[in-house]
A and B are shown apart, each in its own frame.
Chain A
Amino acid sequence: MNHFIDKELELLEQQLQDPLRRAVAPPPSPSETAELIRRLQPEFDALKAEYASESLQFNEQVEAPTLRKLLRSQFRLNRKSLILSSSAVFLMLILLVDPYRPVLSLGILPGSLFPVITPLMLIASMLFSYRTWDPGMRSIESITPYPPALVMYSRMLIVIALIVGWAFVSSIIVSIRIFQAGEFVLPLGPFLLQWLGITLLTSGAAMYVLFRKGIYYALASALTVYALWFIYIDNSSSYVLRVEYRVLIDGLLLVAGVLLLLRSYYRSRKMKFEISSSASASADAGAGHDIH
């Protein structure tokens, strides 16, 4: 009987030996786990690389950038602040012009407040629109399928268009008021050229420099152009220039401004990276380098 129990116990022991050994075996140590992970890592990497090549294929069809789309979105972005601020200033301009004494109150041509205020307004608007204090937002706006400078170009162009547009409306209203007063007939063409020339030259200079040297240099150059123009106006008022010459000079300023804006447009299409506010790169972006 005892012999039978002994045998049974022996059998039980044999049967339980393996499960018990497994049960009391210590769990893997951190170093063993680390070793296991280290050995498996190449397999993981291979699997990931294989998966990556399947899931990360590029969609080659990137929609081509159009200036029209960008202009539309930039207009929507800035319309309220720009329309409000520029309309307030130009309302003030209209009210400042005395239609009964336009020459006395405005100098050589009626409405010469326009060439004084319009470029300044434009410079201030450009600075505000550039958002120098917010590099994060400019980064986001530059990481798009579009050339990043083109986004900024379209924004500045909208600013220029709004300022010029409002100045144009104000000019028409001023000329109508002067005409109705009956004291003076406003030479609308020379009057428009007078402020449009310097405004476009200022903005053209700013844009030209913006895509080469950054916003601060751009503003400095715009202010320099403006100051030079002021010196010229101040000196030219001491002697009488024929209206034709004045018109010619203002026309040249306008053409130069438009040319600078066009050059800036082509430049902005070539640039690959955002222009930093303190950019100091040389003017060789057209040759394939970028401004940081």
Chain B
Amino acid sequence: MISIDHIEQSLGAFKLSIDQLRLYPGLTLLAGPNGAGKSTLLKLLATADKPRKGRIAYQNREAADHLPLVRSQIGYVPSDLELYEEMTTQKLLVYLAELKGVFHTEAVDRLIRDFRLESYRNTRVKRLSIGVQRRIGIVQALLAQPKFLFLDEPLNALDSGERKLAITYLTRYALGRIVVAAVHELNEWEAAANRIVWLENGRIRFEGGAAEWKWDLPSKVWEGTVTSRQMRHFPEQRIIFMRELENESLFVRLVAENIPFPGLEEVLPSMEDAYFIRKFSAASRDG
């Protein structure tokens, strides 16, 4: 378990402030808009930065007191990663493996295979597509088989096949390990996520199980066909999506406490819907 207690970190006008957070084995998603503090929190968790106040303990070991030991168990994928372009995939990974104290190439070979990078093994990084470079970015974090893995928008620039590969691998990897990923698109992690932490303006707005995230909502999701006239006065903030059909009718997915129009059906919310509802509800509450 990772215990975070009373941490504070300031970056200019932005302030991250978390009273208490516990991270358990499994895949935890960090959700929130840009500038919410997701990257800052990940940096602190990855020990790339030190909190101005508070403590972070990994299995009851405080990072500040056991830094080399803790770091030997951490893998980190920052969002702003530019790999060494002149090196080949193989050489870069061997170099980074050695930096992590891994002096055999089995781990590199296995991960190259798992992430389907065999054909790029001897290609210089600068000749690889952004998606492949991003995959290498994920692989480097896994070289030492860390018990704590932190990924900042790991699926950025990946195509659909690469995204599926990464999600499947990370879901399997999270068994018995703590994996935390900052993400923007929640739905694709639907089957994988164990817990959700929702950050906004540097504070935690929700922290709990993935099921709880979807079920314990202040509003419901409704779907069906309505006329454009019916939708004319419906608040725009409550529309999840809307598609025009023939005869001036619309297919809509809406958020409302009670059925907004006859004929609509209540549907199960997706993770993204839940985010939408929670965000809308928080905004209404905050005035």
- Interface of A with B (CB < 8 Å)? 30, 33-34, 37-38, 41, 44-45, 48-49, 51-53, 55-60, 62-63, 65, 69-70, 73, 76-77, 80-81, 133-137, 139-147, 151, 272-274, 290, 292
Contact = CB atoms under 8 A, between A and B. Distances in A.
A290 B216 CA distance: 43
B74 A48 contact: no
B90 interface: no
B256 interface: no
A151 B99 CA distance: 8
A290 B177 CA distance: 29
Interface in B217-233: 217, 220
A81 B86 contact: yes
Interface of B: 1, 24-26, 43, 46-50, 59, 61, 64, 67-69, 71-74, 76, 78-84, 86-87, 91, 95-96, 98-101, 140-141, 147, 176-178, 208-209, 211-212, 215-217, 220, 268
Given A30-B215, A45-B24, A76-B91, A139 B82 contact: no
A292 B25 CA distance: 29
A1 B82 CA distance: 90
Given A37-B209, A60-B69, A77 B95 contact: yes
A146 B99 contact: yes
B177 A62 contact: no
Given A136-B79, A136-B80, A34 B24 contact: no
A150 to B, nearest CB: 11
Given A76-B95, A136-B78, A136-B81, A37 B212 contact: yes
15 contacts: A33-B215, A48-B25, A52-B24, A52-B178, A58-B69, A59-B73, A62-B72, A136-B80, A136-B82, A137-B82, A139-B43, A144-B100, A145-B68, A272-B64, A273-B50
Contacts of B99: 70, 73, 141, 144, 146, 151
A142 B81 contact: no
A41 B81 contact: no
A141 B99 CA distance: 7
A41 B209 CA distance: 8
A275 B98 CA distance: 21
B212 A140 contact: no
B25 A137 contact: no
B72 A137 contact: no
A70 B103 CA distance: 12
A62 B80 contact: no
Nearest to B220: A30
B81 A272 contact: no
A69 B100 CA distance: 12
A151 B147 CA distance: 23
A137 to B, nearest CB: 6
A146 B68 contact: yes
Given A62-B69, A133-B82, A145-B71, 18 more contacts: A30-B268, A38-B216, A48-B25, A53-B1, A56-B59, A56-B177, A58-B69, A70-B99, A76-B91, A134-B80, A135-B78, A136-B82, A137-B84, A139-B43, A140-B96, A140-B140, A144-B71, A292-B50
Given A37-B216, A56-B147, A143-B71, A48 B46 contact: no
Best-surrounded residue of B48, B73, B79, B95 (most CB of chain A within 10 A): B48
A212 B220 CA distance: 55
B209 to A, nearest CB: 6
Contacts of B96: 140-141
